[in-house]
Amino acid sequence: MASKTAVRPEPAPIEACTIARDIQNFDLLIEDMEAELGEKWGDLGFEDSLGFLAEPEAENLKFIAVAMDGADEDDLAKVGRVIEAAKARQIKVILIADDVSPMALHQLMRNGADDFVPYPLPEGALRDAIERQTRAPAAPVLVLQNHGIPARDRSEDRNGAVLAVHGLAGGTGASTLAVNLAWELASIDKKEPPRVCILDLDLQFGSISTFLDLPRREAVFDLFSNIAAIDGDALAYAMVVHGEKLPVLTAPADSMPHDFLSAQDVTALIEQARKNFDFVVIDMPKALVQWTETVLHAAHVYFAMVELEMRSAQNALRFIRTLKAEDLPFEKVRYALNRAPKFTDLSARGRIKRMAESLDIDLDLLLADGGRQVTQANDHGQPLAVFARKNPLRRDIEKLARSLHEINAAKVSAA
């Protein structure tokens, strides 16, 4: 008997859908969707999509690709509603954005979009996004393990100490201190090394990735776009590890406005980092931003970097006034004088004393001028301990790390 194979095959179930005002404006997307899904995809306008997403059929969708251009920004709420409807059904959303402003993208990521790809689509970008969104979540802890970082005990909260570094004038050496302090802390105890990480929160000009020769990963933007969902795995996944012992959350690949992160976002990020690390070193932007206060409150020590010059002194004065006016915890701030003159330079000692007195601060943390080697180490993407062990700046930072480690160890054993 002839087999009863269907004469006409059932149409393949739809696995994905593009949603756009007019899909013909996105012909490269049509090509890529065909290449990735053959006939298993459909196309809808914004209005129809809301009805479709409510139907039982939508359950089979693996993702939707919402394609928009600048003209759709006039009715961003409409696009937002589509994204929210898809998320309510746990369908992944990939935004395809042609000339869309960062603020609009920010809003749509907040509505719940999972990923975005610029249009015209770069080669392979849609495939990568589909793979990222539809594969089972990776085991991010492994990312760290692969770099030699031991797996953390999930039940253990390390309750880390937060050390923030803020340059009060451009180029005063804040990022150099952040990198080298973190490295010294991570290297301080061979038997029981503390777990140390760096968060580069200089979202516009962050240089930690350069100073440690690390790539800036797209995953940072993804993490920042959905910080409400942060957990240890999401944080570990967005980090890259330098020298097998120093995980870094670099600044995002593209500069972003500092108010991309809210105070709550930064609180959630620091809380998560503290759970996973003994020391959380934060490189702050030079500008005062809406979450500077948040970091000040979270910090155990907040290093404010200055140099012996008028510009630093004037900025320090403004900074101190702001702290006092807003009733911020200025006792946490430790002023560090970078490129400090040698101890034997008596006239310079007098100038340091006068600067401290006029600002009414202690200026006892002096970091030596390390000369050209410091910039060379930064340019080579290496900490000073690796590039120039005997550099005077390295010795000062090592001493500082040792004292912080001792204080922290004493606190932990007293607890």
Ligand X SMILES: Nc1ncnc2c1ncn2[C@@H]1O[C@H](COP(=O)(O)OP(=O)(O)OP(=O)(O)O)[C@@H](O)[C@H]1O
Provide the binding-site residues for ligand X, judged by CB under 6 A. 167, 170-176, 202, 205, 207, 286, 338-339, 367, 369-371, 374-375, 378, 393
Q: Could you tell me which residues come within 8 angstroms of residue 320 by beta carbon, excluding any fewer than 6 positions away?
A: 330, 359, 360, 361
Smallest separation, CB 303 to Mg ion (Å): 12
Query: How far apart are the C-alpha atoms of 408 and 254, rounded to whole Å?
Result: 35
Single residue of 18, 111, 172, 175 touching Mg ion by CB under 5 A: 175
H or E stretch covering 280: strand 279-283
Query: Of 157, 167, 115, which Cα lies nearest the Cα of 315?
Result: 167
Tokens of 7: 């004469």
Cβ atoms of 236 and 226 closer than 8 Å = no
Query: How far apart are the C-alpha atoms of 330 and 241, rounded to whole Å?
Result: 33
Which residues sit opposite 336 in a β-bridge?
305, 365
H or E stretch covering 241: strand 240-242
393 interface partner picked from ligand X, Mg ion, none, CB below 5 to 8 A per type = ligand X
Smallest separation, CB 178 to ligand X (Å): 8
Residue 338 interacts with Mg ion (CB under 5 A): yes or no: no
212 interface partner picked from Mg ion, ligand X, none, CB below 5 to 8 A per type = none
**Of 205 and 343, CB closest to ligand X:** 205
Smallest separation, CB 180 to Mg ion (Å): 13
Cα distances from 241 to residues 164, 183, 247, 356, 395, in angstroms, run 19, 11, 4, 38, 24
- Residues 183-222, one symbol each (x = binds Mg ion by CB under 5 A, - = not), give ------------------------x---------------
Kindly state the greatest CA–CA separation across the chain: 107
173 interface partner picked from ligand X, Mg ion, none, CB below 5 to 8 A per type = ligand X
When CB distances to Mg ion are compared, the closest residue is: 175
Smallest separation, CB 167 to ligand X (Å): 3
181 interface partner picked from ligand X, Mg ion, none, CB below 5 to 8 A per type = none
286 interface partner picked from Mg ion, ligand X, none, CB below 5 to 8 A per type = ligand X
Query: How far apart are the C-alpha atoms of 387 and 394, rounded to whole Å?
Result: 10
49 interface partner picked from Mg ion, ligand X, none, CB below 5 to 8 A per type = none
Interface with Mg ion by CB under 5 A: which residues? Answer: 174-175, 207
